[in-house]
Structure 1
Amino acid sequence: MQIEIITIGNELLIGQVIDTNSAWMGQQLNDAGFDVHRITSIQDTREAITSALTEAMSRVDVVLLTGGIGPTKDDITKETLASIFNSRLIYSQEAHDNMTRLLKGRVKGINKQNESQAYVPECCELINNPVGTAPVMWFDEEGKVIVSMPGVPGEMKTAMRNEIIPRLKKKYKTGHILHQTIQIFNIPEAVLAEKLEGWEDTIPEYMSLAYLPSPGKIRLRLTAKTDNEERAHEDFNLLKDSLHAIVGQNVFAEKDVPANKLIGDKLKELNRTISVAESCTGGNIGHLLTSVPGSSVYFKGGIVAYDNAIKAQVLNVDNEALEQFGAVSKQVVEQMARGVKELMKTDYAIATSGIAGPDGGTDEKPVGAVWIAIAGDFGVMSHCYNFGKIRSRNIQRASDAGLIMLLQKINNKLH
């Protein structure tokens, strides 16, 4: 059984509003064992809705729509659905009562625009919307299920969790869709694919593999569609073991969790602390670390040492090293890591110094050259990367690289 998702609204197509609904819905449906076949965003017009829904119904068993059922004139989904299913809009006392309850104390009276939301297609089953005035409508037409929900994320999520997914699970038998994600660092996608050519041939037929690249990282996602969860987990473990034998030095995680969350979890587990000294990353590593709830337990602080004077005066970097080797060097970045660790009195530290670009590079130190150092009870380690010429990407890749370097070192030390 396959599902399509259609999100409705011109605002989605011009980039004024980002479509987060379909991503959330896809994840929830996948977790419930449903196969999402396609996701489409369309204009808020009768022609677009009619065409998209008609085509979707020819391909799949269930179509889920969000948007276009508000109280304003540009919301025409209800009228269009009534037309598609040769129905008419009728007054629903249930919808009116729900709206009255929700608007009580918020407005002086229900106006014509609000009142219009009490009209729904005669052929639909009305599903209560406890958090909004727009109705949730369930259609069962010629063996196909079509559900129209509000585009407001909170209202849609409430409907999906409380009503739509439970009803779909009751109506359709689903198996299990299981995922195993392995995250790999600092190896190009084409090189990785060449290394894993033989490994891919060992993947069971009931599984599929996807490469999900992002700057500096690749997520390998194994997907199993099966009724035998135990067998799937056994096969996942065998595949992970054989993968480690090929590229284990590049693997930094076996779950789909970002590096800042992974290192935070590890630091909490070990009851350790961290600080950062950043030059080219401009505080981005500190931002990533503190974006995780509860990070105050392990993150003590950071220094953005963009100017060499700050490197020397605050982090105790030798002026001689700055003059002889330059700010973008092994010697300087290692002293930065050691200096912030001592200053903040933390167990670990990460330091960065590089040329983010787009200008400032030389033949010896081109744009994208970044030295990263980590410090801990293992001493100080550093590595020079060349990330390319795009400034924003260099900052992001350097930030991730620092976090992953430390995570890998801690894990190797533990094992």
Structure 2
Amino acid sequence: MKAEIITIGDEILLGQIVDTNSAWLGQQLFDLQIHVQQITSITDSESHILQALTAAQSRADVIICTGGLGPTKDDVTKATVAKFFNTTFVHNEEVMVHVKQIFERFNRTMPAMNYGQADVLANAEVLFNDWGTAPGMWVEHEGKVFIFLPGVPFEMKNLMTHRVIPKLKNFYSEEKLVLRYILTVGIGESHLAEMIADIEDSFPDQVHLAYLPKIGMVRLRLTVSGKDVEQLNLLADELQEQLIERIGKAVVSTEDISFEEVLIKSFVADNCALATAESCTGGNIARVITEVAGASEMFEGGIVSYSNQVKVSQLGVSESTLEAFGAVSEETAVEMAKGAKERLGTSYAVATTGIAGPGGGSQEKPVGTVWIAVAGKQEVQTKLFRFHGDRQINIERATAQALLMLWNLYRQEKGD
């Protein structure tokens, strides 16, 4: 069964908000073996909505639209959809009572425009919105299912989880998909592709391998399609094992998780603790670690030592080291890592010091110069990087390299 997602709203196209709804919807639909073929973002205009619905109907079995169901004049989805289905509106008293109760709960007078939110398509099944004023709607039309949901993420997710998914479970999809993942670090996309080219060339037509690169890492997604799930899983396992054997130690996970999650799980399993001492990355390493649930089991804390004074007072960096070698130096990075490890009482610590840009560089130490040090149980390792990019890219690259150095030292000391 094929699906298409249509997101409606000028704010998405203008970049004022990020469309997280589509990614979440895609995951939910895949779990139901409903395969998203296309995601389209359009403006709040009648012509664009009509064109998108017509096109989606020609190529998908399930069409999910989010956004444009609000009460204001710029929300034209409901009126346009009525025109598309050549239908009218009917008043739903249950929705009306719910909308009134929301305003009463906050002791607010309900504006006249909100009365229209109780008007729903005559040919639709109402999807009651427990968490908002705009109800969703389910329409079955010419053998296709159209689902209209509010664009507010928490309202959309609640409606999808409790109203839509139970209904979609009744639909049967003959074609099945199984996925396998391989997360690699420390090897570029092109080198990885060359390494496994002959294996990939031998894949049957029902198998597709996708490369999903990020700074410092590449995730491989293996997709196998067919009708017999048991056979698909056997084939997927066999091909995944071939790839893992060829790639070797660059493989860090076969789960659909991030590198940060791999680090956290590994440190927790081995009862290791981590601290960070960051200058040029400004706390970004600590941020990407603590964004993962469970980080508190292995992350003790971090010190953003942007100034030399903080390097000295909080990390114990020697003033003589700073005077002799400067803040951006191997010697300073080493003392930062050692200081964080000792003062926070951890097994490992990672430190960064450099020039992220756009200013602050010199001929000797141009913008993009970064020293990274990792203190482990037995030794301290350092590396100099010369990045080329804007400030944010330099910070992201330094963060990725710091985590990779941390992982390599951890694996080395573990004996892997």
Taking structure 1 as the reference length, the TM-score comes to: 0.89
Taking the aligned partners of 1:126 and 1:34, their CA distance within structure 2 comes to 22
Map 1:116-127 onto structure 2 (within 5 A): 116-127=116-127
Give the aligned partner of residue 136 of structure 1: 136
Q: Please list every run of 5 or more consecutive structure 2 residues that lacks an aligned counterpart in the other structure.
A: none
Could you report, residue by residue, the CA deviation over 1:233-253 in whole angstroms, capped at 9, with x for unpaired residues? 444444444334444343333
Q: Any conservation in 2 of the 1:102–1:131 contact (CA below 8 Å)?
A: no
Match of 2:337 in 1: 337
Partner of 1:147: 147
State how far apart, in whole Å, the 2-side matches of 1:323 and 1:22 are. 53
Preserved CA contact (<8 Å) 1:181 1:222: yes
Once the 2 structures are TM-superposed, how far is the Cα of residue 4 of structure 1 from its aligned partner? 0.8
Q: Does 1:387 align with 2:387?
A: yes
Which residue in the other structure is 2:378 paired with?
A: 378
How many residues are paired up? Answer: 415
What amino acid does structure 2 have at the position aligned with 1:169? K
Closer/same/farther in 2, CA of residues 252 and 356 from structure 1, 3 Å limit: farther
Amino acid in structure 2 at the alignment position of 1:27: Q
Q: In terms of mean alpha carbon deviation, does 360-369 or 155-164 score higher?
A: 360-369
- Is the partner of 1:388 in helix, strand or coil? coil
- Partner residue, 1:186: 186
Letter of the 2:352 counterpart: T
The one-letter amino acid paired with 1:64 is I
Partner residue of 1:114? 114
The aligned counterpart of 1:214 is: 214
1:256 match: secondary structure: coil
Q: Deviations over 1:319-378 (max 9, x none)?
A: 665566554444442333223212222111111223323345556654333232222223
Matches within 5 A, 1:210-359: 210-308=210-308, 310-311=310-311, 314-317=314-317, 322=322, 326-359=326-359
Greater shift in the superposed pair: 52-61 or 318-327 = 318-327
- With over 3 angstroms needed to count, the CA separation of the structure-2 counterparts of 1:230 and 1:332, relative to structure 1, is farther
CA contact (8 A) 1:275 1:348 kept: yes
SS state at 1:225 partner: strand
Relative distance call for 1:248 and 1:398 in structure 2 (3 A) is farther
Distance 2:108 2:333 in 1: 64
Q: Residue 170 of structure 1: SS of its match in structure 2?
A: coil
SS in 1 for 2:209: strand
Could you tell me which runs of 5 or more consecutive residues in structure 1 were left unpaired when the two chains were aligned.
none
Tell me the amino acid that sits aligned with residue 334 of structure 1.
V
Question: Displacement of 1:172 after TM fit?
Answer: 3.1
* Mapped partners of 1:227, 1:333: distance in 2: 56
In the alignment, the residues of structure 1 paired with residue 233 and residue 206 of structure 2 have an alpha-carbon distance, to the nearest angstrom, of 13
**1:98/1:128 contact within 8 Å kept:** no
Which segment drifts farther, 294-303 or 8-17? 294-303
Contact map agreement 1:132 1:155 (CA 8 A) in 2: yes
- Cα RMSD after superposing both structures: 2.8
Q: TM-score, normalised by structure 2?
A: 0.88
Q: What letter corresponds to residue 265 of structure 1 in structure 2?
A: K
Correspondences of 1:162-173 after superposition (within 5 Å): 162-173=162-173
Structure 1 CA distance for aligned equivalents of residues 177 and 363 of structure 2: 51
| Kept after mapping to 1: 8 A contact 2:131/2:155 | yes
Quote the sequence identity (%): 43
Distance in 2 (alpha carbons) for counterparts of 1:120 and 1:352: 57
Task: Read off the aligned partner of 1:170 and give its amino acid letter.
Answer: N
